[in-house]
Structure 1
Amino acid sequence: MSDIISQYRISTAPYYRPVADEVELFQAAYSVRMPMMLKGPTGCGKTRFVEYMAYTLGKPLITVACNEDMTASDLVGRFLLDAQGTRWQDGPLAIAARYGALCYLDEVVEARQDTTVVIHPLTDNRRVLPLEKKGELIKAHSDFQLVISYNPGYQSLMKDLKQSTKQRFGALDFNYPAHEVETEIIAHETRVTVEVASKLVSIAERARNLKGHGLDEGISTRMLIYAGSLIVAGVDAKNACRVALVRPITDDPDMRDALDAAVMTFF
């Protein structure tokens, strides 16, 4: 058991800068084992927050990147054939429930709805996971908690959570931090100067104002860290911004020109 779960323990403290009372609220939710849902734009710190909370709580963290091809068997487990015959292999959700880890389903709306319904018995008072193919009922370990995340900006009629799923979770809203806080994060993560970090955040704020007006998504905190890392590595700031901030988010020539102009304003 220790070998199975030890690989999921976070050995070093992840850097996370709280922006409100999200840490305290998550700790309170964990104390009553309330399943939690994190909502916010891509690259704003949801995954880092979960890692930080797992480390703070001293619990293993099993992360699943959800996708449209993911089946229920990918979550709960399946029979495998080897030289000795058939054997059962637990999926990540079953491992977390069996041994008491936090299970984080990242971008859960990317999974098919007939896949996500397997989490329902774990997210109410039953706290069980039926392994129907194996004929076993896992009673969730007392330390187990389920956490999911998604980006509401991407949701549509085709890709959204059922109300029967949403109402099983508490929810925390995430967004990009305030200018000073995001500047502090960029400076800490990349070791650029506070002045350079502030300029990067200003560029991102310009881009975020264009969301829905030519951009599907703004420049994320993650992208700013990439740009800052390139600058620290010796790349010219304008080139770093072009590679890490502008080119990844749009192919539209006019939008690229507008964003390049924003970069030139600050660098």
Structure 2
Amino acid sequence: MNDVAHFAVCREPFYQPQGKEIELYEAAYAARLPVMLKGPTGCGKSRFVEYMAWKLGRPLISVACNEDMTAADLVGRYLLDANGTRWQDGPLTVAARLGAICYLDEIVEARQDTLVVIHPLTDHRRMLPLDKKGEQVAAHPDFQLVISYNPGYQSLVKDLKQSTKQRFSAFQFDYPEASLEARIVCAETSIAQATAEQLVTFAQAGRRLKGHGLDEGISTRLIVYAASLIARGVSPADACRMAMVRPITDDADVIDSLDHAITAIFG
């Protein structure tokens, strides 16, 4: 269904600003600049895009990128049906036609040859070539492209080329400072402030192990998962183990260290 209403963000998503990112994004959108969001897993990048789409009153089309994604998955392809072949637009093409915000999440997961298709949309041309169809799609005046990725997973194999990076304005996201993160957890789950603060304290202890047994820190998302379990009667210690420790590591020594931290904080 390729209509604006189908992709509308109808309810206000909860988003707690960390700085001037809302005003800065509004300026970027007013100038129709493509935007790149950088930051660790689960720190609020996707929620921010959803919130800004709601605030700006623009439809949002999100794509979770993966290593098997082809250019055709983004722009479209011919399909066979009972009447022969028909063209079906991909999500990027739909967004360009409708004037939606197109959000490509974890863009570095996609193959480099796939990413080339976004280049004409991110400069003065604002065009999307559909080579297989022989069509040049001029982007709607309200169209904007937003991408995100986690620099913590950068490598020589998985990183954006400078030719892609320098087509975007950029925001650097990180986990919120402790009091703000506790406020977010309370707003998302309605647990007690004191419990939220303890969960954040534990998460910060876990984040200090990044690079020392952990590839990635404990995300705000995982704190919210633990708080959701606590709100349903699970003990804080069990909630931390289930939602904040076991998902991020299989290393017995790291698990043991984090379990000791849980005992120290929650008793």
2:177 is aligned with what amino acid?
A: A
> Shift of residue 45 of structure 1?
0.2
Alignment partner of 1:28 is 2:27 = yes
Specify the SS of the correspondent of 2:7. Answer: coil
Cα RMSD after superposing both structures: 0.8
Partners in 2 of 1:11 and 1:263 — Cα distance?
39
Show the counterpart of 1:223.
222
> Shift of residue 124 of structure 1?
0.0
Partners in 2 of 1:216 and 1:150 — Cα distance?
15
> Shift of residue 236 of structure 1?
1.2
1:161 is aligned with what amino acid?
A: L
Show the counterpart of 2:118.
119
Specify the SS of the correspondent of 1:259. Answer: helix
Partners in 2 of 1:188 and 1:218 — Cα distance?
22
2:58 is aligned with what amino acid?
A: K
Tell me the alpha carbon deviations over residues 221-260 of structure 1, each in whole angstroms, 9 at most, x when there is no partner.
Answer: 0000000000001111111111000101111111001101
Counterparts of residues 126-205 of structure 1 (less than 5 Å): 126-205=125-204
> Shift of residue 82 of structure 1?
0.4
Paired residues, number: 266
Show the counterpart of 2:237.
238
Tell me the alpha carbon deviations over residues 81-106 of structure 1, each in whole angstroms, 9 at most, x when there is no partner.
Answer: 00111100000000000010000000
Show the counterpart of 2:102.
103
2:259 is aligned with what amino acid?
A: D
> Shift of residue 5 of structure 1?
2.7
Partners in 2 of 1:106 and 1:21 — Cα distance?
22
Unaligned runs of 5+ in 2: none
Instruction: Report the TM-score, using the length of structure 2 for normalisation.
Output: 0.99
Partners in 1 of 2:96 and 2:264 — Cα distance?
51
Partners in 2 of 1:68 and 1:254 — Cα distance?
32
> Shift of residue 4 of structure 1?
2.7
Partners in 1 of 2:102 and 2:158 — Cα distance?
21
2:156 is aligned with what amino acid?
A: L
Partners in 2 of 1:32 and 1:112 — Cα distance?
29
1:226 is aligned with what amino acid?
A: Y
In the TM superposition, structure 1's runs of 4+ consecutive aligned residues that sit over 6 Å from their partners are: none
Instruction: Report the TM-score, using the length of structure 1 for normalisation.
Output: 0.99
Show the counterpart of 2:83.
84
Partners in 1 of 2:140 and 2:219 — Cα distance?
36
Show the counterpart of 1:74.
73
- Give percent identity, aligned residues only: 65
Specify the SS of the correspondent of 1:7. Answer: helix
Partners in 1 of 2:228 and 2:264 — Cα distance?
20
Partners in 2 of 1:18 and 1:96 — Cα distance?
26
1:8 is aligned with what amino acid?
A: F
Show the counterpart of 1:210.
209
2:143 is aligned with what amino acid?
A: F
